[in-house]
């Protein structure tokens, strides 16, 4: 029996100062919005969940360079399906993993803070994977993988797989590497290595780039959210 055509998008609950003047990171809006739209267009039911049922938007992701007029209209419309579900986020205790065939970890730098310890989200992703579904992540969403365990190996589901995610070079270009270190969190490259995965860098830190390795689909950065979601749908349709 094939997994249900239903997708669950994970949202970071964390927020912390990252940008000039103490502006905070949180959910990078398009990294959830673009996959949401891809999945809905592909005929999936889509739900949004965070570890605590709360979220805060990333400051940078609301700026014009990162949120175009079309996306902003959806984001600012509290009656839109996407914003309505964000405004009424689910918690892991609300979720039955058996009802989903695809898990997608959206991101924002804040994901580095809560995803490594997000036991509820990790358990859901593990169960979806174990049941034969797709597990996907974009940008810093890969911070969730150390705790997403394949019970048949007792290792991360990305062990011995090829994955991508936000580059350490990109952290350096944004001048945020020291802040990440102050959070006592590894970069995505370091996190992937700790799981036994092979990290594959995109051509450039901001280029759209995605990798599919079996039932694990990863993307590199905000520009990759759309193509990563499309690749996740392609992988799902091959199940």
Edge-to-edge strands, sheet with 134-138: 45-50, 6-11, 102-105, 134-138, 216-219, 210-213
Q: Is 171 a catalytic residue?
A: yes
Catalytic-role residue among 140, 189, 195, 226 = 140
Catalytic-role residue among 15, 34, 109, 139 = 139
Q: Is 34 a catalytic residue?
A: no
CA atoms within 13 A on the CB side of 192: 27
Q: Is 78 a catalytic residue?
A: no
Catalytic-role residue among 171, 189, 195, 230 = 171
The answer to whether residues 77 and 84 touch, using CB atoms and an 8 Å cutoff, is no
Rounded (10°) CA dihedral 10, 11, 17, 22:
150
Pairing of strands 210-213, 216-219: antiparallel
Q: CB count, 10 Å around CB of 162?
A: 16
Catalytic residues: 139-140, 171
């Amino acid at each position: 029996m094939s997994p249900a055509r239903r997708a669950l998008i994970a949202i970071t609950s964390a927020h912390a100062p990252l940008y000039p003047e103490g502006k905070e990171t949180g959910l990078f809006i398009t990294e959830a919005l673009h996959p949401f739209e891809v999945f809905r267009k592909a005929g999936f039911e889509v739900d949004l969940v965070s570890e605590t049922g709360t979220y805060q938007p990333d400051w940078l992701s609301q700026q014009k360079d990162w949120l175009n007029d079309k996306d902003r209209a959806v984001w600012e419309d509290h009656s839109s399906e996407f914003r309505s579900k964000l405004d009424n986020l689910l918690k892991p205790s609300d979720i039955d993993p058996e009802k989903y065939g695809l898990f997608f970890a959206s991101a924002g730098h804040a994901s580095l803070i809560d995803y490594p310890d997000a036991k509820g989200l990790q358990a859901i992703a593990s169960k979806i994977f174990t049941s034969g579904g797709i597990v996907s992540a974009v940008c810093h969403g890969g911070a969730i993988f150390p705790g997403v365990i394949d019970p048949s190996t007792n290792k991360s589901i990305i062990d011995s797989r090829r994955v991508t995610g936000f580059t350490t070079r990109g952290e350096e270009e944004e001048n945020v590497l020291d802040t990440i270190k102050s959070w006592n969190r590894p970069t995505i490259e370091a996190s992937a290595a700790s799981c036994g995965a092979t990290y594959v860098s995109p051509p450039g830190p901001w280029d759209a780039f995605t990798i599919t390795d079996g039932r694990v689909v990863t993307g590199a950065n905000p520009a990759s959210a759309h193509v990563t979601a499309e690749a996740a749908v392609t992988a799902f349709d091959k199940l």
